[in-house]
Structure 1
Amino acid sequence: MKKTIGFFFQLLLLIGLSFTVLSCRHEGKTMKPSSTGKPSEIVVVSENNLWKSSAGDSIRAFFSRPVPGLPQPEPFYKLVQIKEDEFGRLLKIHRNVLIITIDSALAKPQAELRRDIWASPQRVVKISSPTIEGIKEIFAERSSEILNLYDNAEIERLQALYSKSLNLKASESIKKVFNLDMNIPADYYVAVQKDNFIWLRRETNVMSQGLLIYSYPYTDTVAFNPLKIKSVRNQFTQLFIPGPSDSSYMVIADEFIIPQSRTITLKEEPAIEMRGLWEVRKDFMGGPFINYTFVDKKNNLVIGLDGYVYAPNEPKYDYLKQVQAILLSFKFTEN
């Protein structure tokens, strides 16, 4: 009898320990520390000689390129290089990590793109190769994919932050007018609302951010022509976005810098992304904007989602990325 009781006691203890281990493993997936680091920053883990080589040159040149559509040159990402033996616990939880290493045991170069290894949210890229030339080749081959990985992560972080405090009334107005669900942060307010146009603003002591949403009937694919996109945006801003002086208004500034456009996919539908500069006619205000134009097939409407920044004497790329994150939070309503 005592042996039977002892056996069942041991069995229950073993089962309890098993559940504890499984629970800890499960919790380990969700209990990773929050990532750290500044926006638009990447920690590069590389030995000094490798970072000073032509491979390091090509990586620095790629990420330090000026972002299109800004009034002053700003890089896509700031790179902070450290050696492998300096890559300790504190730096492993950085939001963006790029590891570059020479590995003579490899048969060919390889690039690994991972997420949430040591922290959350986090993006980690590891590029390995038996030679320096191999690192250059694999990076050139996958550089656009790597940039998108980091960019999308920055957008996701901002969207998660904004979702904690929303202007529900503004979101409801957008849903009612455009049949779109969009998360509008609480510090934005509706400045103008018309039947097919909404202007939302955020004002601080050092800068202004604005969101424009507008629509018009879809007739043909000319809606995706950059000249058409420019013309429509100018029509709406001339009507509804006044400047500080009498008869002044916002327009696209393209006398010296032509807006850049590219075809992308949004919510599984084709769209045009346009980046450029805006100005206020008859005044001295201006800054960068980003615009997304696509078709709401269900309602046969062209939708324009637009964000702009006014921040004199301040870097503007991170501010522009903030309005971009808000615009890209949109979803088509199911009703």
Structure 2
Amino acid sequence: MKKLGTLLFAIAILALGACNQSGPKEKFLPPSTGGINSLTVVMDTELWKGPVGDKIRDEFAAQIIGLPQIEPIFTIMQLPPKVFKGTTTYSRSILYVEQDSTSLAHIKDDAYAKPQKVAVVTGPTEEVLIKNLDSLAKRAIKEFKAVEITEAQHRFERSLSKDKALEEEFGISLKVPSLYKVGKREDNFIWMDIQIPKGTMNIIAYQMPWDYFKSDSTLVEDIMRMRDSIGQKYIPGPDMPGKTTYMITEKAFSPYVFPAEIGGKKAAEVKGVWEIHGYPMAGPFLTYIINDKENNRKMILEGFTFAPSTEKRDYMFELEAILKTVSFEPAEEPVSD
């Protein structure tokens, strides 16, 4: 029988070491490294060039929906197993693939560094490897993304805004980096942004009545109507003689809607493209429509980016990481007579 690869052997040694240690003392692990949304794929180069590599690229470098241009879920760096040692093992997200007599498809936490996710896929043939990749890909992508979100939040939590506009207006809090500034605050609307090369990243917040969305069958149309009305009222475009410009939802493509949970509450996650009515500007947006039943409202949080001729994946990922830090203050108890 062929021996298991370097990674599986190391994981077994780590497990044995943990069993032999007395007491609750933890083994020291170095901090994980790597750029946000990067994935280290450890596998034989010949496998990488063939159908197994094609399957990995199809799954882990698939196009992100909701962006105006093609960008992959992860930026992949492939390494052959013989160079997977030392600091290369500290990558935060790792996919280890090996042709071996044992068939495996599982995910290991913190094997070499912390925090870290290591997805391990083995199999005796290319067909089995592809089958195992297919069975694991969805969960692996979800777990890789979760560890990347946590890392993004860790990075910006070092310097947070002390502005209390969101707490005062809506009774919510967000962990927003200190470089974001509130540029507009009106009744039921807050807009904050940050300057980036060639553009801006933006966060807006507002609330809608609990019963605003009447039917699942008209949900997408109702979302677009809501966004367009808010854009017309609060988000103007460039000044154009004889024209009124403002943000609307891109009309050529309907936004994507997914179930989500955020701030401990059920929500709808909406991804799509915004444009400016009456002016050639556009970019991606991410909206969370949160069921805040305790306050009898739908709480709306949105991030959008304007960065022409620039890749926007990591900008939108940062906005997602910020929005997912939302927390709600407890609803006030009614005062009895």
TM-score by length of 1: 0.86
Query: In 1, distance between residues paired with 2:248 and 2:73?
Result: 26
Give the C-alpha shift of residue 34 in structure 1. Answer: 2.3
Contact residue 269 and residue 288 of structure 2 kept, 8 A: yes
**Aligned partners of 2:193 and 2:273: how far apart in 1?**
18
Structure 1 residue 272 corresponds to structure 2 residue 268: yes
- Report whether the alignment pairs 1:96 with 2:96: no
Q: Is the 8 A contact 1:291 1:306 kept in 2?
A: yes
Q: Would the aligned equivalents of 2:96 and 2:120 in 1 still touch at CA under 8 Å?
A: yes
Indicate yes or no: 2:196 matched with 1:204.
yes
- Structure 1 partner of 2:298: 302
Task: Give the AA of the match of 1:241.
Answer: I
Is the 2:197–2:307 contact (alpha carbons within 8 Å) kept by the matching residues of 1? no
Aligned-partner Cα distance in 2 for 1:229–1:223: 11
Q: Is the 8 A contact 1:223 1:229 kept in 2?
A: no
8 Å CA contact 1:273, 1:291 repeated in 2: yes
CA distance in 2, matches of 1:51, 1:260: 32
Distance 1:332 1:280 in 2: 32
SS in structure 1 at match of 2:295: coil
Contact 1:64 / 1:78 at 8 angstroms: preserved in 2?
Answer: yes
Could you tell me which amino acid in structure 2 is paired with residue 184 of structure 1?
V
2:61 counterpart of 1:64: yes
Match of 2:320 among 310, 320, 324: 324
Structure 2 unaligned spans of 5+: 1-20, 332-337
Instruction: Name the TM-score, length of structure 2 as normaliser.
Output: 0.85
Q: Is the 8 A contact 1:223 1:302 kept in 2?
A: no
- The equivalent residue for 1:16 is none
What does 1:237-252 correspond to in 2, within 5 Å?
Answer: 237-246=231-240, 247-252=244-249
Find the structure with the greater CA-based Rg: 1
Q: Which residue of 1 aligns with 2:183?
A: 191
Q: Unpaired segments of 5 or more residues in structure 1?
A: 1-20
Write the distance in 2 (CA, Å) between the matches of 1:79 and 1:166.
31
CA RMSD, aligned part only?
2.0
Instruction: Indicate which of 277, 283, 304 corresponds to 2:279.
Output: 283
Of Structure 1 and Structure 2, the greater helix share is in 1
Letter in 1 for 2:292: D
Task: Note if contact 2:265-2:292 (Cα within 8 Å) is conserved in structure 1.
Answer: no
Aligned twin of 2:222? 228
Q: How far, CA to CA, are the matches of 2:67 and 2:182 in structure 1?
A: 26
Mapping of 1:119-134 within 5 angstroms? 119-134=113-128
Paired amino acid for 2:180: Y
In 2, the alpha carbon distance for the partners of 1:161 and 1:149 equals 19
**SS of the residue aligned with 2:280?**
coil
Q: Distance in 2 between matches of 1:295 and 1:145?
A: 26
Residue 39 of structure 1 aligns to a residue whose secondary structure is coil
Change (3 A) 1:162 1:23: farther
Aligned with residue 135 of structure 2, among 132, 141, 151? 141
SS in 2 for 1:76: coil
